[in-house]
Amino acid sequence: MSQSRHHLFLALPSVAMLLLTASAVAANNTLKRRSAIGGDQTLVSPGNIFQLGLFSVANNTKWFLGIWFTVSTEAVIWVANRDRPLNASSSGFLSLSGQGDLVLLDAASNNETVWSSNSSSSATAVAQLDDTGNLVLADDAGSVLWQSFEHPTNTFVPDMRIGKSIKTGDEWSLSSWRDGDDPSAGDFRFVMDTQGSPEFHAWSRKQGRKTYRTGPWNGVRFSGIPEMGTYKGMFEFQFTDTAHEVSYMYHAYPGSPPSRVVLDESGVVHRMVWDRTLGKWSVFWSGPRDQCDTYGMCGAFGVCNVVDAVVCDCIRGFRQRSPAEWRMRNPSGGCVRSTPLQCERGGEDGFYALRGVKLPETHGSSVDNGTSLEECRRRCLANCSCTAYAASDIRGGGSGCIQWFGELMDTRFLNGGQDLFVRLAMSDLDISAIPSQLTLQYRN
């Protein structure tokens, strides 16, 4: 992000000025009932890790209420009024109303409400900015009435979750900025797909399609992000998959530098860590990382390999659906089976092990985390609609079961990838025709 920050000096009408008496102004990280901050005033978290206040972009023509890192003021992690900026000629202030609402008011428009937490349920509420960067509105009993972590913008940070509540339908997803000088909602979203083995995907509203997937959670990391295994000394990952909630968060170990995950305006997800020595953000990982991470690059039953001159090929046992299109370097039509499956004809099928891959898209897949991989194989073989299976948890040699029942989409080779067992007619499992490093088959 390249925007600069300038604080707006407050010019309030006399009624609003009553809110800003010496006893009412917020102290440190706390905003109490009938108090307000504006201009260059900020809430500062107890450890001075985060600040909340007004900032400007686009040559001071737009003003927003946001939260940013103290060490890097351009790194805004949350914006309240992202789709309704204050004008340069306006003056705004954040107040905790008598009804217990957090409200951003425009003093230049008769204290018009620009943004509200819509949480009025306690006149004794107190708002606090904590060291995680979460702005929490709670009552005097400590019950949380509203928190900024439940309303992400384009960034998530340690101890913040993204995902979905199965119980309520609430979704915690990222939405990109429109551009580097405009935090209004942009084209891309980063959301959890819970229809199958849960995984994140980036979605372009303009294109109306997925643009990138992380792959499903495999007990250690997301299938398509093996780099996560290198963060052990810095972060601890937590993946929740219950009947009530599917979510992901990460925790920073004590002493770890500031970090954030950002969905930028072009739809790329970046994991960034603050380099204290250089005083700048270091990008640890980005996705999509290359053309093989582009969703559906090689079409159904295709597999992408970025080290090959021609990156797309068909999984063994499949052939190009349209050789003419493939010759024109358009493999998006994918592949079709060379030999029909024999299951429904009373014949015998087997499995070909595709080693070291990002698992295919899991939307619509079946998941059973409580079974063995061997039982998963038996179930898939007994179901003529099952086209592939894999372990849902790679720990301890692999356990659990993911089954696919249709096309295998968006598969790629990846260093540190996992094994995918693809169903083929037994005649396509000729050992002599399969490269030895990729060979493994199961029979009845």
How is residue 247 annotated by DSSP? E
Statement: residue 438 has pLDDT above 80: no
Q: How far apart are CA 106 and CA 96, in angstroms?
A: 14
- Residue intervals of the chain classified under CATH 2.90.10.10 are 1-141
SS in 3 state form for 143-186? Answer: CEEEEHHHCCCCEECCCCCEEEECCCCCEECEEEEEECCEEEEE
Mean residue pLDDT of the chain comes to 89
Span between the terminal Cα atoms of the chain, in Å: 57
List for the chain the helix, strand, coil content (%; round to 5). Answer: 10, 40, 45
| pLDDT tens readout for residues 93-109 | 999 887 888 999 998 88
Q: Coil, strand, or helix at residue 14?
A: helix
| pLDDT tens readout for residues 347-361 | 899 999 999 999 999
Question: Confidence class of residue 119 from pLDDT cuts 50, 70 and 90?
Answer: confident
Quick one: pLDDT at residue 1? 41
The structure tokens 């954030």 sit at: 260
Q: What is the C-alpha R_g of the chain? A: 26
Question: Confidence class of residue 40 from pLDDT cuts 50, 70 and 90?
Answer: confident
Percentage of the chain modeled with pLDDT above 70: 89
Quick one: pLDDT at residue 122? 65
Q: Which residues contact 53 (CB under 8 A, 6 or more apart)?
A: 7, 37, 40, 41, 42, 43, 65, 66
CATH code reported for the domain at 1-141: 2.90.10.10
Quick one: pLDDT at residue 444? 29
Q: What are the Cα distances from residue 331, in Å, to 288, 299, 313, 368? A: 19, 6, 8, 33
Statement: residue 11 has pLDDT above 90: no
Burial (Cβ within 10 Å: 0-12, 13-18, ≥19) of residue 170: exposed
| pLDDT tens readout for residues 140-155 | 888 899 999 999 999 9
pTM of the model: 0.88
Question: Confidence class of residue 55 from pLDDT cuts 50, 70 and 90?
Answer: very high
Q: How far apart are CA 119 and CA 223, in angstroms?
A: 39
Quick one: pLDDT at residue 44? 97
Q: How far, in whole angstroms, is CA 145 from its chain's centroid? A: 25
Q: Which two tokens stand for residue 282?
A: 């270091």
| pLDDT tens readout for residues 270-319 | 999 999 999 999 999 999 999 999 999 999 999 999 998 899 999 999 99
Which of 148, 5, 3, 162 is CA-nearest to residue 80?
A: 148
| pLDDT tens readout for residues 179-230 | 999 999 999 999 999 999 999 999 999 999 999 999 999 999 999 999 998 8
Quick one: pLDDT at residue 433? 43
Quick one: pLDDT at residue 120? 67
Quick one: pLDDT at residue 21? 35
Statement: residue 18 has pLDDT above 60: no
Question: Confidence class of residue 8 from pLDDT cuts 50, 70 and 90?
Answer: very low
